[in-house]
Structure 1
Amino acid sequence: MGNLSGKRVFITAAGQGIGNATAKALIEAGCDIYMHYFSDDSGAKELAALAVSLGQKAAYGQADLTDNEEAEKCTVAAAEFLGGIDILVNNAGGLVGRKWLGEIDRQFWQTVIDVNMTTMFNVTQSALPYLKQAREGASIINLASLAGRAGGHSGSLVYSTTKGAILTWTRSLAAELGQYGIRVNAVAPGLILGTKFHNVHTTKVSADETVRSIPLGRAGNAEDVARLIKFLASEYDGFISGATIDINGGVYRM
């Protein structure tokens, strides 16, 4: 496992939840960091202050990553501030809303695809020239979901479809970018409570029912996922690529 001290990280949706916990873990591991946020900069601002207090570089910027021009501008700003990109964490995404098959219209369909897939495409394509220049190889970590493995709860059909597509995107990208020393992996979290996603879209009754099915007997938290992403980030010079690592307390076993 590589030393993360001085590694240059660009992470999307770092304002709260898994993205915020991951950014904090990477800062504490010695990384310089550029944090994207969409609507609220308070979480990124707090972590930037932490990084500076530790003698590291940190900045943050706003963008609608579904827009190709905004995504490219944000990615270039990250690369210019950091002097390159060694590690890309594609964390942006969301359920958007719960709609059953008969309720899904074309606008909702496209919105969920854009939030979960177009964002990832836009950022990764924009970051590619910088990742290829990473001196010791680079690492891309994509946020998928247990929903992409097993299907989600009712009303998450489009979301689950996009998260399943991210698994294939990760495998294909690993094959395509390996020649440049770029490793590409995904993480697939299960029930991770305390995040905006579940605070908005998951009832306590539903969460309690899910927890009862988890062999470890508890839900996950953002720090659980952050530790896994930090490990994959440290594999910038390693041999893990094209993998999806499940983190769900044992409820889904491959």
Structure 2
Amino acid sequence: MEDLQGKTALVTGASTGIGAAVAIAYGARGMRVAVHYNQSAGPAQAVVDTIVRAGGEAFAIQGDVRDSAAIARVVRDTNARLGGIDVLVNNAGSLVKRAPIAEFDDALFDEVLHINARSVLAFCREVVPLMRARGQRGSIVNVSSVAARTGGGPGAYLYAGAKGFVSTVTHGLAKELAPDHIRVNAVAPGVIQTPFQDRFSTPAILESFKAGIPMGRIGEPDDCTGAFLYLASAQLSGYVTGQVLEVNGGQYMP
């Protein structure tokens, strides 16, 4: 992955969990990384410090992905600071809450879809013109979920639907952007032990998930980083676009 040295990346939702692991992995390969966060300023700065201590370059940048104006600012400021964006990782997302259908309301729909679906398109809308203008190969890596395949756990159908949207949009954008030498792929993690699970899944729910994983364990964020490194590297994945890489311990096998 020598081609990653000196490349730039914007990783959204990178203060904790998979996003943090990806940002640190990119930094360790010589990439210059924008660590996006919304409310977790301290953890985001800890990710930056980890990258810098290892000899890399990174900075933290705040923005609410429910706000398209904030997304435009994040991209504009990242582009100015890094001199371009080679890799965009659309990782920011949230289940918001588990809600049976009897508790469904319009506000929940709007929040889940804005955070997990609309934000992906909004970031792409801002980044794609920058990638086109540079005339170099770019890579967009969206984050879907095994929930897009299975419908999700209890009360997570909205989140699952939003991630299904992400997977489908990935295919469409890959077709549109291929002539511009911009590859668009997705990574679909399975059940990964992150603050996301701490917030939304009880021990009983996690045990039920674990029982359906052939590898017999809940994943860790570092189990996902290889897929993101692969998709960022044109040397390794230059002929790969429109794909959804499943990283789930065998929980779902397409």
Please give the TM-score of this superposition, normalised by the length of structure 1. 0.95
CA offsets per residue over residues 41-98 of structure 1, 9 Å max, x none? 2222123233334444321111112111111001110111100000000000110001
Deviation at 1:134, TM superposition (A): 4.5
Alpha-carbon separation, structure 1, partners of 2:180 and 2:115: 28
CA offsets per residue over residues 19-62 of structure 1, 9 Å max, x none? 00110000001100111100012222123233334444321111
Residues 100 and 155 of structure 2 are in contact (CA less than 8 Å); yes or no, is this contact kept in structure 1? yes
Alpha-carbon separation, structure 2, partners of 1:211 and 1:226: 21
The aligned counterpart of 2:138 is 138
Structure 2: tracts of 5 or more residues without a match: none
The aligned counterpart of 1:167 is 167
The aligned counterpart of 1:223 is 222
Alpha-carbon separation, structure 2, partners of 1:27 and 1:134: 22
Structure 1: tracts of 5 or more residues without a match: none
- Partner AA of 1:17 in structure 2: G
- Partner AA of 1:208 in structure 2: E
Alpha-carbon separation, structure 2, partners of 1:213 and 1:48: 35
Alpha-carbon separation, structure 2, partners of 1:174 and 1:50: 33
- Partner AA of 1:222 in structure 2: P
Alpha-carbon separation, structure 2, partners of 1:241 and 1:178: 8
The aligned counterpart of 1:158 is 158
Please give the TM-score of this superposition, normalised by the length of structure 2. 0.95
CA offsets per residue over residues 121-155 of structure 1, 9 Å max, x none? 11111111222244540110000000001211120
Residues 62 and 74 of structure 1 are in contact (CA less than 8 Å); yes or no, is this contact kept in structure 2? yes
Alpha-carbon separation, structure 1, partners of 2:2 and 2:139: 11
Alpha-carbon separation, structure 1, partners of 2:78 and 2:204: 41
Deviation at 1:119, TM superposition (A): 1.3
CA RMSD, Structure 1 to Structure 2 (Å): 1.5
**Cα gap change, 1:171 to 1:2, in 2 (>3 Å):** farther
Residues 57 and 82 of structure 1 are in contact (CA less than 8 Å); yes or no, is this contact kept in structure 2? no
- Partner AA of 1:149 in structure 2: R
**Cα gap change, 1:131 to 1:215, in 2 (>3 Å):** same
**Cα gap change, 1:52 to 1:206, in 2 (>3 Å):** closer
Deviation at 1:8, TM superposition (A): 0.4
Alignment of 1:27-176 (within 5 A): 27-134=27-134, 136-176=136-176
Residue aligned with 1:210, SS: helix
The aligned counterpart of 1:233 is 232
Alpha-carbon separation, structure 2, partners of 1:19 and 1:215: 25
Alpha-carbon separation, structure 2, partners of 1:153 and 1:46: 31
Residues 66 and 122 of structure 1 are in contact (CA less than 8 Å); yes or no, is this contact kept in structure 2? no
Give aligned-pair identity as a percent: 34
The aligned counterpart of 2:245 is 245
**Cα gap change, 1:135 to 1:43, in 2 (>3 Å):** farther
Query: In the comparison of the two structures, how many residue pairs are matched?
Result: 253
